[in-house]
Amino acid sequence: MPEMLIIKPSALRDIVHGLQIAASIKAQRPEWRISWIVRDIFSPLVRSCAAVDQAYVFRRHGGARGFLLMMREVRKKEFDLVLDFQGLLRTGLMTKWARGKRKVGRSDAREGAGIFYSEKIPLPAGGSQSHVLDILLQFCTAAGAEPRLAGPLRFREFERLNLSFMAPRKGLRPVLIFPDSGLSSMIWNGFAQLTAQLIREAGRKVVWGGNNYLPCKESFPDGTFLNLTGNTSLTSLPALLAKADWVISNDSGPMHLSAAMGFKTIGLFGPTDPRQYGPYPLKSPTNYAIQAPVGDLRLLSAKEVFHLFNRIEATLHKAQVRAVVTSSR
């Protein structure tokens, strides 16, 4: 069985995209056994992904000693293929010290990482302006697979988690909102108002999720709102997404994970370009991106997002009705 090592320690969005590549390779070439180097805070997600067979945990705050201990474990095995998805000096060094017959990296690697590769993957036809996942998909060719996605991401045993608080209301599953993001310029401040409209005007149940606690000062009837920000673990994240009717989020890791798992996703974008960073596939009927005027999220109103949400829901419902009618003929 050929052995592959993928190096992608962080961040959550990039790891989600990398897992999609691993799943695509595994689906097309199931003979590959896939190992992964990942930061400790993201390791629960990588370990639970059905496409990954083994994870090596990189403890970023462990210093040089922690780095060397991890690489000592990695070097116990010789890999047929080492793929550096990140393309930075640190991951280039991991590539150098890993024992591998072929060492493949990005053609757009930075910080001198490119000197550690025996092969470089070319950019897609759109060049550096391509969607970040289209760039990573080119790594599939190194494993003898086609550069295409092979279905939604799957995770082990997440269905067993008890998430009774995500029970439907009035026959509709909750709208799951992730109001935080890694950069302040990518955080929209209209989520509280949007939540109020979803509850009071659309009759929806709303749940907020995310790593960092964010208060919602609005007051809602019992059973219509739950704030889980600051209390959302990576272990439970796939299960939480699976219980939602819609996921609405800033440009963030949970948004990309929702799209990767094939769930209905709306991403709100400010300075980042959804053509490069939007929920993928961009043309999927369940993926939508709303970009703020001139890339400034302060200019995007909750009323506008709520209107677009209703319009998207109506369009999707009509498409589903047409599909049912067509299949019954």
| Residue 232 pLDDT | 92
> Rounded to whole angstroms, how far apart are CA atoms 57 and 257?
21
Q: What are the backbone angles phi and psi of residue 36, rounded to the nearest 5°?
A: -145, 135
- Dump pLDDT digits (tens) for 67-126: 999 999 999 999 999 999 999 999 999 999 999 999 999 999 999 999 999 999 999 999
Do the domain assignments include residue 301? yes
Do the domain assignments include residue 153? no
Do the domain assignments include residue 158? no
Boundary-marking domain end, from 108, 143, 178? 143
| Cα–Cα–Cα angle for 108, 68, 54, rounded to 5 degrees | 70
Residue 68 belongs to domain with CATH number? 3.40.50.2000
- Out of 32-36, 86-90, 103-107, 183-187, pick the least confident: 183-187
| Residue 217 pLDDT | 86
Residue carrying structure tokens 């419902």: 317
Q: Are residues 194 and 237 in the same domain?
A: yes
Do the domain assignments include residue 236? yes
| Residue 184 pLDDT | 83
Q: Are residues 197 and 320 in the same domain?
A: yes
Do the domain assignments include residue 85? yes
Boundary-marking domain end, from 143, 176, 210? 143
Q: Are residues 116 and 180 in the same domain?
A: no
Do the domain assignments include residue 152? no
211 CB-side CA count, 13 A = 10
State the DSSP string of 19-87: HHHHHHHHHH-TT-EEEEEEEGGGHHHHHHBTT-SEEEEE-GGGHHHHHHHHHHHHTTSEESEEEESS-
pTM (2 decimals)?
0.94
Q: Are residues 29 and 99 in the same domain?
A: yes
What is the extent of the structural domain holding 92? 3-143
> Rounded to whole angstroms, how far apart are CA atoms 274 and 272?
6
Q: Are residues 122 and 210 in the same domain?
A: no
Q: Are residues 98 and 199 in the same domain?
A: no
Do the domain assignments include residue 149? no
**Residue that wins the pLDDT comparison between 36 and 151:** 36
Q: Are residues 250 and 302 in the same domain?
A: yes
Q: Are residues 22 and 136 in the same domain?
A: yes
Q: Are residues 137 and 23 in the same domain?
A: yes
Smallest CA-to-CA distance from 278 within 304, 244, 306, 251 is with 251
> Rounded to whole angstroms, how far apart are CA atoms 79 and 116?
15
Q: Tally the domains of the chain.
A: 2
Spell out the alpha helix ranges (H) of the chain.
12-28, 43-48, 63-74, 89-97, 132-137, 191-200, 237-242, 253-260, 274-277, 302-328
Q: Are residues 172 and 309 in the same domain?
A: yes
| Mean pLDDT along residues 180-186 | 85
Q: Are residues 138 and 178 in the same domain?
A: no
- Dump pLDDT digits (tens) for 139-165: 999 999 999 998 899 998 766 677 899
> Rounded to whole angstroms, how far apart are CA atoms 29 and 115?
28
Q: Are residues 248 and 293 in the same domain?
A: yes
Computed over every residue of the chain, the mean pLDDT equals 94
**174: DSSP letter:** P
Do the domain assignments include residue 150? no
